[in-house]
């Protein structure tokens, strides 16, 4: 599983259960650069009920003409405030916390908003810490996470605070049973081939999983393949054909690392590599991860720094 301060969490696109810790992340950019907004006041979780919201949180947001030009416009209205099932709040003067302050389920730390890097914020939605979040039952549920943010300090009341909203979904089908061992195969491919020296690229390794069990229905195969990688590691080595011919560990020097790894909703493994301290030449990139009882090590992908 993915971790947050050493605690197991499930990212929003990894089919989270309503009773597990769900990591809800938000990234802020300004003109192509990650940046920290002036203030983040609260994060709300509200239900996305198909016969009421139809996939849009409009019924929860104050868009009355009478509120135009005031600080109330664009915030939660009375319907929205009454529908909130969990709230992560620093508007009372509490500071946004680093990930290292997260102390697991059912504690005061579970209610914090966390800063995980420049422009990178997160909350941990937990059915134990917030019974109202889990009291809607174990059935599948759709949700909005709505972030109350002031982007810049020098703005007037009507343009100051705004809501950024996202979607996530919780499931009751994370547990899948079958009558025989799962037959899993996996394939990886490095998307980056040539990189300019001193650049800081994000390496992208796409992966595809296949379930070969003939008797398994297609819907179960689809569920199993939906964002299953959560323990990826990477290593980068350099070929030295003009010297000793040996291969040198570059990132990390000890061999493999999971530090700095992220995995997208499509199971693409992401790793940002600073090449400024390297030299031109041919490098080898490999990833590995475990699915069920199998550990998959990718082939050696060639990457050229030029």
* Residue-wise pLDDT tens digits, 124-144: 887 666 656 655 544 568 899
Number of domains in the chain: 2
Please state the pTM of the whole predicted model: 0.75
154 and 16, same structural domain?
yes
Q: Is the pLDDT of residue 231 over 60?
A: yes
Q: Please indicate, yes or no, whether residues 99 and 226 belong to a single structural domain of this protein.
A: no
Is residue 299 situated within a structural domain? yes
30, 165: one domain = yes
Q: Summarize the confidence of residues 266-271 as an average pLDDT.
A: 90
What are the pLDDT digits (tens) for 101-123? Answer: 888 755 544 568 999 889 999 99
Is residue 288 one of the residues assigned to a domain? Answer: yes
Residues of the chain with pLDDT > 90, as a percent, come to 37
Same domain, 152 and 188: no
Among 142, 170, 198, the domain-final residue is 170
What is the domain range of residue 222?
Answer: 184-305
What's the pLDDT at 108? 46
In a domain, 175, yes or no: no
Last residue of a domain, which of 147, 170, 193? 170
Query: Which pLDDT belongs to residue 238?
Result: 92
- For the chain, the average pLDDT equals 83
Q: Answer yes or no: do 82 and 114 share one domain.
A: yes
Q: How far is 232 from 252, CA to CA, in rounded Å?
A: 14
125 and 209 both lie in a single domain:
no
Q: Is 176 contained in some domain?
A: no
Residue ending a domain, among 140, 170, 200, is: 170
Residue 281 lies in a domain: yes
- Do 22 and 97 belong to one domain? yes
- Residues 76 and 140 reside in one and the same domain: yes
Examine residue 234 and state whether it is found in any structural domain, yes or no: yes
On whether both 64 and 133 belong to a single domain, the answer is: yes
- Position 193 pLDDT exceeds 90: yes
Please write the tens of the pLDDT for every residue from 150-188. Answer: 888 866 655 678 899 999 988 776 677 788 888 888 999
- Do residues 215 and 261 both lie within one domain? yes
Q: Say if 178 falls within a structural domain.
A: no
57 shares a domain with 130: yes
pLDDT in tens, 38-84: 889 889 999 998 888 988 999 999 888 777 666 777 889 999 999 98
For the record, the structure tokens of 162 come out as: 């705004």
User: So what's the pLDDT on residue 93?
Assistant: 57
Note whether 15 and 161 are same-domain residues.
yes
pLDDT of residue 14: 78
Residue 75, domain member (yes or no): yes
The CATH number of the domain holding residue 300 is: 2.60.40
Output the 3-class SS for the chain: CEEECCEEEEECCCCCECCCCEEEEEECEECCEECCCCEEEEEEEEECCCCCCCCCCHHHECCCHHHCCCCCCCCECHHHHHHCCEEEECCCCCCCECHHHCCCCCCHHHHCCEEEECCEEEEEECCCCCHHHHCCCCCCEEEEEEEEEECCCCCCHHHHEEEEEEEEEEECCCCCCCCCCCCEEEEEEECCCEECCCCCCEEEEEEEEEECCCCCCHHHHHHHHCCCCCCCEEEEEEECCCCCCCEEEEECCCCCECCCEEECCCCCEEEECCCCCCCCEEEEEEEEEEECCEEEECCCEEEEEC
């Amino acid at each position: 599983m993915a971790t947050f301060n050493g605690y197991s969490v499930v990212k929003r696109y990894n089919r989270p259960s309503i009773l597990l810790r769900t990591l809800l992340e938000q990234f802020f950019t300004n003109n192509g650069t990650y940046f920290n907004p002036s203030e983040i006041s609260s994060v709300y979780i509200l239900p996305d009920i198909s016969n009421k919201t139809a996939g849009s949180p409009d019924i929860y947001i104050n868009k009355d003409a009478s509120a135009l030009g005031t600080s109330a416009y664009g915030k939660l209205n009375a319907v929205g405030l009454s529908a909130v099932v969990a709230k992560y709040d620093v508007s009372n003067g509490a500071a946004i916390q680093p990930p290292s302050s997260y102390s697991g389920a059912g504690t005061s730390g579970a209610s914090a908003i966390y800063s995980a890097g420049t422009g990178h914020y997160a909350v941990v939605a937990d059915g134990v810490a917030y019974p109202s979040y889990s009291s809607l039952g174990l059935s599948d549920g759709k949700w909005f996470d709505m972030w109350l943010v002031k982007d810049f300090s020098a703005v007037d009341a009507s343009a100051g605070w705004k809501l950024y909203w996202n979607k996530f979904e919780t499931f009751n089908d994370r547990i899948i049973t079958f009558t025989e061992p799962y037959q899993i195969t996996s394939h990886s491919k490095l998307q980056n081939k040539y990189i300019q020296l001193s650049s800081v690229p994000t390496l992208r390794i796409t992966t595809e999983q296949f379930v070969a069990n003939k008797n398994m229905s297609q819907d179960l195969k689809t569920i199993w393949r939906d964002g299953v990688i959560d323990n990826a590691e990477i290593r980068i080595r350099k070929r030295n054909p003009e010297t000793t011919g040996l291969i040198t560990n570059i990132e990390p020097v000890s061999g493999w690392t999971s530090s700095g790894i992220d995995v997208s909703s499509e199971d693409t493994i992401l790793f940002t590599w600073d090449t400024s301290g390297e030299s031109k030449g041919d490098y080898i990139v490999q990833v590995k991860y475990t699915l069920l009882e199998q550990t998959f090590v990718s082939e050696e992908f060639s990457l050229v720094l030029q």
